[in-house]
Amino acid sequence: MTTPTSPANYTYSVYVGVGAGAQPVNLGLSTSGPTTGPYAGQAVQLPAGTTVVITGIGIPQVPPAAPATGVTVFDSYVFGEHYFAALELESIQWNRLMSADKSDPLNQLRIIGWKGWDGAVILNQLFGAIIESSASGTGAFG
């Protein structure tokens, strides 16, 4: 099998079930996945357009399910140490206009602005998690 080619920035996992019509409750074993770490040899973190050959049944893991109709899912992101790295490509520049000028001769406006250039990269997806939750309340207080 081949993982979808679009969107290109997604990663995919392959789940398998045993027997006809069985629900997938395990990851597949594949040489296409990570070679080190807790998911070594499992069919996880597969880039888009990757040809995957499943060689066996991996560790138990149930695939995520779609929410029921009318249920709003809220995501909470958890980032562990060394999940991502960020770097400053250029120092943040900020300016504040404190005196009168041609566009504000009475000095009645305060203008402040900033700009910056930075970048970030995910180092290890296994060090982060998304907690999905929903609420059953009506949202009314009192």
- CA neighbours within 13 Å on the CB side: how many for 63? 14
| Residue boundaries of the structural domains of the chain | 1-65, 66-142
pLDDT tens across 78-128, in order? 999 999 999 888 777 777 777 777 878 888 877 788 887 888 899 988 899
Closest residue by Cα to residue 45 from 9, 79, 75, 84: 9
| Residue tagged 């930075």 (tokens) | 118
> What tokens appear for 45 in the block?
């973190």
Looking at 34-73, which runs of residues are DSSP E strands? Answer: 46-47, 56-60
d(CA 43, CA 63): 12
d(CA 72, CA 44): 27
- Threshold 0.85, pTM exceeds: no
Predicted local confidence at residue 85, as pLDDT:
93
pLDDT at 142 over 70: no
d(CA 13, CA 31): 13
> What tokens appear for 10 in the block?
């997604």
68-72: average pLDDT: 80
Q: Can you say whether residue 49 is alpha, beta or left, with left for phi > 0 and alpha for psi between -120 and 50 degrees?
A: left
Give the CA radius of gyration of the chain: 24
